[in-house]
Amino acid sequence: MIADQYPCESWIHVHTDGSATYAVDNGGAGVYASFPEGHTTTTNIPTGKHCSDYSAEIQALVQATSIIQDSFSECLQAVFLTDALSVLEALAGGKLSHLMGKLHNVEQQRRVVLQWLPAHCGIRGNERADKLAKLGAQGDQTDNTVSFMEKKTLIKAVFRPQKRKDDYHLLTRHEQVVLMRLCTGHNRLNAHMSQKMKLVPSPTCSCGLEDKTTEHILQRCTILKSLRKTMWLTAVSLHCKLYGGKEDLEKTASFVSLSGLTI
């Protein structure tokens, strides 16, 4: 999957993570970078006494850009691996101009890819970054200035029920692998196997409707229509099937298993 798409022999792997106590206090950011030359670089920092998970994740990515920009590695490709889906969505929406600028600076030297990973998925670099973020949170925290938007985020976090970043850690190892492959698109479905891997002649699903992607099999494939109606009695969004709670994720993994698809 990730190792196939971004081989460590030709890509710098930069794992980032950010966290805060109860998602509102004493934030920390961690970065674990591994280079094709064989060495690694790590860093961890406190991100403020009043800090959300979201803000800590952003600061982790900012720290990561500095590490790569200052690196003497001759590798010209870097993949930033993060479980911060909301941060990636904000970047895709043209927000977070400060972080965008940092990434753009790195792009002057290297090709940059941002790749989402589920939290606690068993990938070594991801786990290292998580531990570094927690270590950073134990450092001396500054009484940082909080923006208006950050205040809103912190207030919401205080009054909503506390939960882990996601429910992937509650799934079996097999279920985690299935969901990760569906979410990242690095799987054995025709679209990826044809367009990326060049191992099958056509990306089209055997139903003939469109390319065989994660969204197609979970939402529109006519061959799997009956099974979908059995699994989900009412219409359910793709986001819920891939990023919902434990029951949603288990149902998606079960659907794939019953479909007979090789993911």
**Domain residue spans of the chain:** 2-159, 168-259
| pLDDT at residue 152 in the model | 59
| pLDDT at residue 156 in the model | 60
Residue matched to tokens 């949170």: 137
* DSSP-assigned letter for residue 143: -
Q: Round to whole Å and give the CA distance between 189 and 73.
A: 35
Contacts 24+ apart (CB under 8 A), 144-152: 144/47, 144/48, 144/49, 144/50, 144/51, 146/48, 146/50, 150/50, 150/52, 150/55
DSSP string, 173-225: HHHHHHHHHHHH--SSSHHHHHHTS--SS--B-TTSSSB--HHIIIII-STTH
Q: Are 243 and 184 within 8 A, CB to CB?
A: no
| Alpha helices (runs of H) in 71-147, residue ranges in sequence order | 85-92, 97-107, 124-137
Handedness of CA 137, 44, 64, 101 (dihedral sign): positive
| pLDDT at residue 164 in the model | 46
**Superfamily holding 2-159:** Ribonuclease H-like superfamily/Ribonuclease H (3.30.420.10)
Which has the closest alpha carbon to 17: 121, 152, 172? 121
Q: C-alpha angle with apex 47: 45 to 51, nearest 5 degrees?
A: 155
How does pLDDT run across 103-151, given as a tens digit for each residue? 999 999 999 999 888 776 778 898 999 999 999 999 888 766 656 555 5
Q: Are 263 and 182 within 8 A, CB to CB?
A: yes
Consecutive 10-residue averages of pLDDT for the chain (263 residues): 83 94 78 97 91 91 97 96 88 90 95 85 86 92 64 56 63 88 86 81 94 95 96 92 91 95 90
Handedness of CA 47, 50, 52, 53 (dihedral sign): positive
Residue matched to tokens 């952003």: 58
86 burial via Cβ count (<10 Å: 0-12, 13-18, 19+)? exposed
Q: Are 143 and 49 within 8 A, CB to CB?
A: yes
**Helix (H), strand (E) at residue 111:** strand 111-116
Q: Are 213 and 189 within 8 A, CB to CB?
A: yes
